[in-house]
Structure 1
């Protein structure tokens, strides 16, 4: 029976605003932890994605496919930084020995050690889903997937925003926004599905909304091979059901905000076991139980808040946990985790969950903190040899990523854009031994630190230099030898690194800027 999707966005927004106003959030960057895979994704050897591999920028689906296919092997680590809108119109099939891709979806099939991360002004996968099959050690971070269909136009394979199946291991999905605009009748399917032996997955700090189906763990009552899934600090908004639908296996749901659940929320079936800790359930129905089957599942409940939650009457195929949920099993969680008090979950989740939220996280005490400057899974851009003479800053975000670049001249085979692409394997050189390279923005940025990274083998070639505010011509700093440059915080739209003298050919891989 098709279930109706009730859209209550205005009510939800009002409730969120009240929640945020009710709790003071401490924005603490000084004590920020580095983002890293956690929950079950940190088990089984951990999830590091493409850390240590090449960093490639992609603005089309074709470029994502090319990045996968141009690797030395299907397991060669790679970080794919995505900016802009990815859709069917800019996604073409690509051939290669290290990939099995197509044009109707972003296919991670038979691969490992891959990070896909949104950067710059943000990344959106519009009507094109991401499917992970027979793959391991995958990080998906900081982007939106919206309106993926299994029928209608355009058609994407399976209709899932993110789908995993067939022996998938160790996936960390973090700071994502997954959304649809209808249900099955409109051609949409699940937002986050796991099938056919998928294990060790974490979904964290993400938004799932406006869909008839959240996500399932197991495609049928006989598919009970999926297990070890963690869901934490997510917003589930205006969903009908499957939040998640757990068939067999073990899962953990903590510090999530469920609001506007229309028919059923956490649906544990066929022997599934889930620990449910310090979640906030609001304006919803049947948020926990075994539904649409007599094959019972089980739950352990601790510290949850049920705010205006209604419960249906028990029946043959309907087994709600409420109105006074109690534990029906005990689940042993193998990893450590810090729990926010359930009452502050709506405000913490509102400040952290979803794409383009600055990768903010909770410190486990109802406070919000900013991350380290490099998103997790993104390998350091420092060259492996001949590092800068000073270490890079330890806090902040590299503002050069997503900016523009130009200069006075460039040697053959080099590019101005190479100094802002986050990759230590590309570079800019002037046509001689002196010249200028610049980073620029469409609107003013305030910066107080620059890091100039030189290519391996060329460190020390730069002698005298100046750092100049292009807007005013003022010299911000000057010196000898590249590295970390600090100066009085300055608001500008373009900053120039001017090489005045050099003992050899300058080769700059990155021109990083920080506030």
Structure 2
């Protein structure tokens, strides 16, 4: 290797990589959530792995290195509460073996399962409307379990995961935060948590539906979580490529970022969600009454671009939505934006909607056994002109909507920094939201 002034190029690269930060630089791994920045700031706040010792600071470039940095064994890493900082460099594919060789349908498939036989066994014309059961469904479930054990990565408490530069990606699976506390995830692009083995549910809706399992980021029963400046999408396998079986879309993707199972005290800020159907599910079941008093989540300055629904869809939680930018003009897959689920308590301020010309603002919300939404400062932009609008008033004014929406949600947010004027939201969010913009 060529030397320069007595030093090799390799040494110069190494030296620059470990050089101390200048006064104008910030080590994102040591940053913590601001003291008023949403629900994740409540009580103890969210500091992630900021207190990690030098031997618990890692840079990872593949799945095996990521699992090792998180504790060494993916089955038990969720119990590793040692403070740790993990920097993600480049693209990490989670659907690989320990030699980083790609895995797919054939590698995960149980020998007793094929999609062809599955389609024959559960054809609605012969199977009907009852739940699928029997050897082929059991083989499908085993196949899905094989994949899940590989592509879902458990993250323990007191962890910071942060992308280096503007090219850090985690693809082919997702992160799973289960009953942990104090986690920060920043500056990473998450792509294509792809399920090879969707399940047919004949009882889901009037015509049945295919349902998949994996989220890019799933928060289950966890507390004090900050997800900031990340990007979420389906990468090179968007839903537009999905097959159709039994006249229904064969859905390979679930949520982009979901919170359920008593998850609580979460701030989701400056993220970019795009080109996806089911985006953010908060609370997974109407029967999960233990979620009452939990699922306290703040969404602010997020960019929702051409999503289908669930931005978010909320059950039970006290959810603060402010300064988010929703852009869905020309989106033929759009269904709704805010899902008002059972006992949900959404408090929405200064959100901006860019929709098709003549769009009815009443269609921004969907009542799913919920009845309350406080909303103020909303702006709707159609045909290049924006104006303030009351989404609740528009919904209640429609005679077809026999269940009216109450504006009383029983609480008022106090944990937030500056709330920007709605007119400035598109420019701020487009400039700052997503990975690579810190």
TM-score range, shorter-chain basis? 0.5 to 0.7
Q: What is the correspondence of 1:247-258 to structure 2 with a 5 Å cutoff?
A: 247-258=315-326
Residue 107, structure 1, aligned to residue 154, structure 2:
yes
Query: How far has the Cα of 1:320 moved from its partner?
Result: 8.1
| Matched ranges for 1:195-206 at <5 A | 195-206=260-271
Task: Name the structure 2 match of 1:39.
Answer: 38
How far off its partner does 1:129 sit?
Answer: 1.1
Q: Which residue of 2 aligns with 1:332?
A: 412
SS class of match (2:311): coil
How far the C-alpha of 1:297 sits from its partner, in A, is 3.3
Q: Hey, what's the Cα distance between the residues in 2 that align with 1:214 and 1:320? A: 25
Q: Counterpart of 2:193?
A: 148
> Shift of residue 216 of structure 1?
0.7
8 A Cα contact 1:205 1:353, kept in partner: yes
Do 1:263 and 1:286's aligned partners in 2 also have CA atoms closer than 8 Å? no
Question: Which residue of the partner structure matches residue 289 of structure 1?
Answer: 365
Report whether the alignment pairs 1:350 with 2:434: no
- Whether 1:132 aligns to 2:212 is no
Unaligned runs of 5+ in 2: 1-23, 100-147, 199-210, 241-248, 383-388
List aligned pairs for 1:463-482, cutoff 5 A.
none
Instruction: Trace 1:83-98 onto structure 2 (pairs within 5 A).
Output: 83-90=89-96, 92=98
How many Å apart are 1:88 and its aligned residue?
A: 3.3
Larger Rg, first or second structure (1 or 2): 1
Structure-2 separation of matches of 1:320 and 1:242: 20
Equivalent position SS for 1:239: coil
> Which whole-Å deviations, capped at 9, do the CAs of 1:113-166 have from their partners, x for residues lacking one?
00110003521111211111111101010011111123359xx9922111111x
Cα offsets for 1:276-307 (capped at 9, x unmatched): 0111011066464343x3x2231111211122
Give per-residue Cα distances to partners, 1:247-298, cap 9 Å, x unaligned.
Answer: 112100000001117111111221211110111011066464343x3x2231
Give the alignment's TM-score, normalised by structure 2.
Answer: 0.64
Any idea what SS the aligned residue of 2:196 has?
Answer: coil
Which residue number in structure 2 is paired with residue 245 of structure 1? 313
Distance 1:231 1:113, change over 3 A: same
**Structure 1 residues 91 and 274 mapped into 2: Cα distance closer, same or farther (>3 Å)?**
farther
Find 2:258's aligned residue among 190, 193, 205: 193
Residue 287 to residue 194, structure 1, CA distance change in 2 (3 Å): farther
Q: Residues 27-426 of structure 1 correspond to what in structure 2 (within 5 A)?
A: 36-37=33-34, 38-53=37-52, 54-69=56-71, 74-90=80-96, 92=98, 102-108=149-155, 111-152=156-197, 158-165=213-220, 167-180=221-234, 181-182=238-239, 185-224=250-289, 225=291, 226-260=294-328, 262-283=334-355, 286=362, 288-291=364-367, 293=368, 295-308=369-382, 313=398, 315=400, 327-357=407-437, 359=438
Give 2:204's aligned residue.
none
**How large is the Cα RMSD of the aligned pairs?**
3.1
Q: CA distance change for structure 1 residues 314 and 209 in 2, over 3 Å: closer, same or farther? A: farther
1:200-247 CA deviation, whole Å, 9 max, x = no partner?
A: 111100001111111111112123504210000000111111111101
- Tell me how far apart the structure 1 counterparts of residues 404 and 322 of structure 2 sit (CA, whole Å): 19
User: What is the match of residue 414 of structure 1?
Assistant: none
State how far apart, in whole Å, the 2-side matches of 1:281 and 1:319 are: 24
The answer on whether the counterparts of 1:200 and 1:228 sit within 8 Å (CA) in structure 2 is yes
Pair 61,213 (structure 1): closer, same or farther in 2 beyond 3 Å: same
Q: What does the per-residue CA deviation read over 1:359-389, in whole Å, with 9 as the maximum and x for residues that have no partner?
A: 2xxxxxxxxxxxxxxxxxxxxxxxxxxxxxx
Task: Looking at secondary structure, tell me which structure has more strand per residue.
Answer: 1
1:169·1:200 contact (CA, 8 Å) conserved in 2?
yes
Measured after TM superposition, the shift of residue 336 of structure 1 is: 3.6
**C-alpha distance in 2 between matches for 1:346 and 1:123:** 25
Measured at CA, do residues 265 and 320 of structure 1 come closer, stay the same or move farther in structure 2, by a change above 3 Å? farther
| Distance in 2, Cα, partners of 1:131 & 1:91 | 19
Q: Secondary structure at the match of 1:231?
A: strand
Alpha-carbon spacing, 1:278–1:233, altered in 2? closer, same or farther (3 Å): same
Q: Are the aligned partners of 2:371 and 2:404 in contact in 1 as well (CA < 8 Å)?
A: no
**Alpha carbons of 1:275 and 1:121: their partners in 2 closer, same or farther (altered >3 Å)?**
closer
Q: TM-score, normalised by structure 1?
A: 0.55
